[in-house]
Structure 1
């Protein structure tokens, strides 16, 4: 036996699971096909949005609350500035389907929020050019997460706690036996008591057939723009945002480099054959729609894309994550399939995966995320 737990994939969720597991056991090993926070993983793109208000699944709220606490703990433990607490805006048509659903969930879970009229937005956040029937919901606890810094900090913290990390070690197979789980990479193999699979878009090849059928790798692209006055788009003045106004939608984050603002079309992920074949260049249609949307939404940005990239992520057929064991008897736990929405909750879900894989604690209220929900489909 080579250890109590192996974590396969040290990206957004796996790095946090490794860090949490290293707090619970001195016999934890992480395997990463490349290097933590490598440029082709779903971690790429500098930042992700952290927010406490959202639409759908009220059961996510306690996980987000725990995640917020754990982001602060990771910062304190590593000395890294990971979460810039700049607030967040959800913008949309007043009484439209987006804000109606968001406010229904927000009121159900009791999250702090403030409704801002179009006039209030013009006074507080004039960077946004709102339509006549647009309003916003302000989230005081939202912010911008530095993805590469978060992942490397979590892996370093795990190693400081005694975890072993194998980089440039892609896992080819996992085989469950009566005694444990055998994992192989090339001509090497290891045996662990338990395994967490958290390799994002690369997780499918390690899944049982029923989960392969319920998942799909998609390409998610990101775009950045130069601000006419960068000070107006600093974290102090420009919260993270999601906007769905009629036929246009976009999300983004303030300028973390003092010059460029992330502003990206929302919900445009398209299927890709696998995580290694993601087209990085934008299509002419993607460029055109992005520039048209920025021209309308943000007069303070030059509407020319100065940087773009694309990354793979694993999506489930119902858009909800996969957290938990393959079945009640299994020693294999999955923590993947976050469908482009997982980074804000990575610390919380990482803790859940580590605790359950090591048999330290089980969590209620997660039926919506359990892999077994797809067995009957």
Structure 2
């Protein structure tokens, strides 16, 4: 045996699983095909939104709550500022399905929030140009996660706890044997008691066929703009936001670098043949729709994209992650398929994956995430 646990992929979830596993054992090894927080991973683009207010399955709320605690623990353990606590806004039409669904989920979870009228928004957050029937829901616990800092901090903390990290080591195959799990990279091989696969869009080649049929690699693009008055879009004055108003939708984050504001079209993930061949440049249509939306939503931003990029992520057919062993007898644990929405809960997902893969704790109530849901269908 080369160790109790191997973690393949040290990006959004794998880095957090490595950190959490290093708290539970001194025999964990991480494998990264490139370098930590490399520019082509799904975590690229500097920031991701953290929020406690959302629409959808209320079963995510305990993971979000635990993730919030763990982000603070990672900051304290490493001295890195990872979560910019600036609050968050969900904006939409007062009688539209977006806010109706969001508030219904919030009633179930009990998440702290405040409904802001159009007038209150104009007073508190005049950066937003609202339509006549728009209102907002304010989330005081929301903020912007610094992705590069988060990943490198988690890996640094794991190494300090005794974890081993192998960079520039792409894994070619995983094979279960009577004695453990054998993984290979070129001419090299290792054997571990158990393995976590957390390699995002690159996970598909390591999956059994029943999961490949229910996953798809998609391209997610991001865009940034310069503010006419940078101070108005600072984290102190401009919360993260998601806006779905009629025919337009956008999400974004304040100028955490003091210069550029992230403002990106929402829900535009498009299929791409492979994770290594994602087109990085925006198409003319993407540029046109993005700048038109920014022109309407944010008069304080110069409507010209100053920075853009695109990244791959693995989506499942039901948009829920794949978390759990591949079967009851398997030693391979899946932690992938976060469908463009995993980073805010990365610390919580990492704790779940590490704890379950090492046999330390099993988390109930997560059947909707287990890979077997597709095997049974």
**TM-score in terms of structure 1 length:** 1.00
What pairs with 1:117-196 in structure 2 (closer than 5 Å)?
A: 117-196=117-196
Name the structure 2 match of 1:18: 18
Aligned position for 1:202: 202
Q: Name 1:55's counterpart in structure 2.
A: 55
CA distance in structure 2 between the aligned counterparts of 1:208 and 1:23, rounded to whole angstroms: 30
Q: Secondary structure at the match of 1:222?
A: strand
1:95 Cα deviation after fit: 1.7
Question: Matches of 2:259 and 2:117 in 1, distance apart?
Answer: 29
Output the CA distance in 1 between the equivalents of 2:210 and 2:119.
51
**Residue 320 (structure 2) aligns with:** 320
Deviation at 1:356, TM superposition (A): 0.2
What is the 5 A alignment of 1:188-267?
188-267=188-267
Instruction: Return the offset for 1:259.
Output: 1.0
CA deviation after TM superposition for structure 1 residue 376, in Å: 2.6
Task: List per-residue Cα deviations over 1:286-328 (Å, max 9, x = no partner).
Answer: 0000000000000000000000000000000000111110011
Partner SS state of residue 54, structure 2: coil
Q: Which residue of 2 aligns with 1:270?
A: 270
CA distance, structure 2, for counterparts of residue 87 and residue 186 of structure 1: 46
Equivalent position SS for 1:263: strand
| Partner residue in 2 for 1:99 | 99
Pairwise CA distance, 1:257: 1.0
Q: CA deviation at 1:43?
A: 1.1
Distance 1:233 1:179 in 2: 56
Secondary structure of the corresponding residue to residue 89 of structure 1: strand
- For the aligned residue pairs, the C-alpha RMSD in angstroms reads 0.4
Equivalenced residue count is: 377
TM-score, L = length of structure 2: 1.00
Corresponding residue for 2:38? 38
Q: CA deviation at 1:65?
A: 0.3
Instruction: Name the SS for the 1:375 alignment partner.
Output: helix
| Partners of 1:319 and 1:116 in 2: CA distance | 30
Stretches of structure 2 lacking an aligned partner (at least 5 in a row)? none
Rounded Cα–Cα distance in structure 1 between residues aligned with 2:344 and 2:233: 21
Give me the whole-angstrom Cα distance separating, in 2, the residues matched to 1:52 and 1:104: 13
- Secondary structure of the corresponding residue to residue 169 of structure 1: coil
Stretches of structure 1 lacking an aligned partner (at least 5 in a row): none
Question: Displaced runs of 4+ in structure 1, greater than 2 A?
Answer: none
SS in 1 for 2:162: coil
CA distance in 2, matches of 1:95, 1:110: 21
